[in-house]
Structure 1
């Protein structure tokens, strides 16, 4: 039973052609759409607004941005809501696109899609998946247990998902995202399964997202460095006092000291890490070019790639720490800071703290990846009807795994920062990694190894959120996923 907006309830009887996917008449299709409209029109006023659409489509796992896209695309009179005719026009256009995509996948034109056809179609646009993964995708849409997808199942599954082409479908099925929390940049396991032009555009989008994210959380990062080195901002006793003292000492802009070089090092670090990661994966795969790496192999590849990238850009890490801790007027800029460090302390200063930094990559990368994979696979095993965990699930997994990784590697990060901050002053002790550990434990106890952890954890959620929002925007601007 359903009703046309403003009219009596009608019995829904739709006859569709299984191959063309269209009803025997437009009026019968409108009856089917009327039932959908009735379900989404929560206040029964004959119009659907964004709030009603978000509520009605929540169980389908659609993001807020996807719902907003639907309203923008269907709202022809720009009044912010969809009336029944706008709703029908949107579905008519969207189902036409879905039919074209269905026909692309249905390679033998039998009106059904099987796992092999999914695998072949994704391979044709540069996304290689195993037959097992293709079957899991298929099962998420297969409602009758036939291990094939007919037009009705395809249409119903993507009815309200604003996809425009097969690249969008591939992103939905093999969702990979770069989330930068300002610590270690994870190399997504799915990146190498995309076309190379798409990969680099995605990496650029991720780097830009990380730059905005780091800029947004830079005050917390500067506070963390001060707490790691001094215990607090000189002359203060709490977080708020530290922020006030920083502003008083150098103005509001002082909260972003060191952020410029922090952003500058992102592009080469990302490029080196991904390039090395790909080469190591090729070595581990051997002759099996389509093989997928298991967890410990990805951990090994990610750790080695991170080590190589960190070795290449480490001087910028030291420079960032010195610029973060500088007093007003101490340096005129990055170049002046580097020049003074070189003159006073020799070239070795640019690799202070390198050993604890390198050691910290292993627990961070290993725990981060292991927790991320465990949480994501746990969700997938409990939600077998869905092939894509969805944005919020992935963001949640990323935030939790990053936090766990930081907790494990934080003492090494603290010691690294203190070594970077040690200036070569005549007569001043230059402590080694082990000496610093002993010093901290003796004078401050175990809690001393976690100084600055609070602002570091506080920035995880905003960093992930900002990174994701900017990443999604840049992905659309740069056309990520569209082969060129």
Structure 2
């Protein structure tokens, strides 16, 4: 991407002989399309595109936000040069942190090592493809000049931002709580950026779940009431819910589903950090397997803590109009009639579902990442937001597919007490009964509306997450 810039705007002779100021001035003139001594965001975008450096609107806005010191909506030559000088210093630190053997160049093995530290595993061949997108002279190694020219307009400020393109983020909320938690760098923890990201993700999840709540309630209704004798489908299910309780009933149980986001996220994040400390080696490093185990245990810890709210959500969603006046009334009636044990019905299949969900989710994501790196990484190491969203959506959907039978068993166990004359079966008994009466397909009742909500849920959560990050100053 930046070879054109290196060959035209920043020729090698100029890099070696001219000082930084003349290089920056030359580049500023190329971007100042109307020659008024200032560059606005439109000129920056058009100028970079003309130079063969289409970064994308988000990256360009970050550059502008960081460089516009007087906040007048334009970059003058002093602001432009200061931004590039400051950014080049950060890029120098990033280069040195990647150059593990201090020989003045970055090689494929060093890319692999740095990614592994961050929990991202790639082969040396894939690392070579990443290097090809930066390597201007074909030596299969990257020196400081190549590194600087490639990342001159990349708003990433440290090596972890650069190599975490492929960090498997769980910010995409599809209404399920089985994902392993996000991981934050030490810098993000010190700066307070971690809680802003968690808050952004929590708000995004709340909006996303509210937007797709009718499909989520329909899924629960089909899981509980769908059978060969009661052929509830998407259309008849929605009509039945509206007829029984009006349009508002489509959002029944959503309040609990939203409220539980905050405590679950906080507990999961705290538990993940604690488990990582337990599994870390003598150097304090945590490998990929250890991260997965830590994440799964953190998910189990969080689910154990907030599980009564899962039961309340199901009971409210399945309950009839007027049966419960709200979350507290529902909890009160369950406790009075069934005791404390009722708040943990379906707990075992729910916990067991974490492993196949998280395992399949991560495995599919890694496979998609590998396929992309093998085919496209020679042009750029950054897959772009749509590739990442697509990979995240597909991997999460596969994770759901793997764990869905356990989720259905959990929901039916949670709701058994509401079904008249229904025997109170345990996990194995319920599984055997569904197989005997409904066949394998019975374990996937309600999966259609579950899949229908994935795309809108991902889209809503991503848009809201990005807006929240902008408002909190971490975009």
1:166 equivalent in alignment to 2:157: yes
Q: TM-score, normalization: structure 2?
A: 0.77
- Counterparts of 2:222 and 2:29 in 1: how far apart (Å)? 65
* Residue of structure 2 aligned with 1:100, choices 79, 86, 107: 86
Residue 437 (structure 2) pairs with residue 443 (structure 1): yes
Give the alignment of 1:234-273 within 5 angstroms.
Answer: 237-273=232-268
Deviations 1:353-377 (A, max 9, x none): 1111111111111111222223224
Question: How many Å apart are 1:338 and its aligned residue?
Answer: 0.6
Q: Kindly provide the CA deviation profile for residues 157-214 of structure 1, in whole angstroms up to 9, marking residues without a partner as x.
A: 444x5x3x737x8545424532221113534564255432222222222112111111
Secondary structure at 1:106's aligned position in 2?
Answer: helix
Q: Which deviates more from structure 2 when the two are superposed, residues 238-247 or residues 359-368?
A: 238-247
- TM-superposed CA distance for 1:48, in Å, is 11
8 Å CA contact 2:268–2:299 kept in 1: the answer is yes
Q: Against the structure 1 CA distance between its residues 219 and 250, is the aligned structure 2 distance closer, same or farther, given a 3 Å change threshold? A: same
Pairwise CA distance, 1:71: 9.7
8 A contact 2:223–2:446 mirrored in 1: yes
Q: Which moved more, 1:170-179 or 1:135-144?
A: 135-144
Mapped contact 1:364–1:409 kept (Cα < 8 A): yes
Distance across 1 between alignment mates of 2:99 and 2:345: 54
Secondary structure of 2:142's counterpart equals coil
Matching of residues 269-348 of structure 1 within 5 Å = 269-289=264-284, 291-294=285-288, 296-348=289-341
Over 3 Å counting, the alpha-carbon distance change for 1:301 and 1:420 in structure 2 is same
Query: Do the aligned partners of 1:258 and 1:323 also contact (CA within 8 Å) in 2?
Result: yes
User: What RMSD in Å do the two structures reach over aligned CA positions?
Assistant: 4.1
Unmatched runs of 5 consecutive residues or more in structure 2: 1-7, 35-39, 103-110, 118-123
Contact 1:220 1:455 in 2 (8 A): yes
**Structure 2 CA distance for partners of 1:100 and 1:426, relative to 1, 3 Å:** closer
From 448, 452, 458, give the equivalent of 1:454: 448
1:353 correspondence with 2:346: yes
Contact 1:307 1:358 in 2 (8 A): yes
Aligned length: 428
Alignment partners' CA distance in 2, 1:29 and 1:56: 13
- State the alpha-carbon separation in 1 of the partners of residues 428 and 365 from structure 2: 31
Distance in 2 between the 1:339 and 1:299 partners?
A: 37
Paired residues of 2:356 and 2:403 also in contact (CA < 8 A) = yes
Per-residue CA deviations over 1:389-423 (Å, capped at 9, x if unaligned) read 33222211211111111111111100110010011
Q: 1:350 to 1:374 in 2, by over 3 A?
A: same
Q: CA deviation at 1:463?
A: 1.3
For residues 347-426 of structure 1, the aligned pairs below 5 Å read 347-382=340-375, 383-384=377-378, 386-423=380-417
> What TM-score comes out, normalization by structure 1 length?
0.75
Distance, in Å, in 1 between the alignment partners of 2:9 and 2:63 is 24
Aligned partner of residue 457 in structure 2, secondary structure: helix
Gaps of 5+ in 1: 1-10, 39-46, 76-81, 121-128
Q: Is the 8 A contact 2:181 2:272 kept in 1?
A: no
Rounded Cα–Cα distance in structure 2 between residues aligned with 1:450 and 1:284 = 36
Shift of 1:102: 0.3
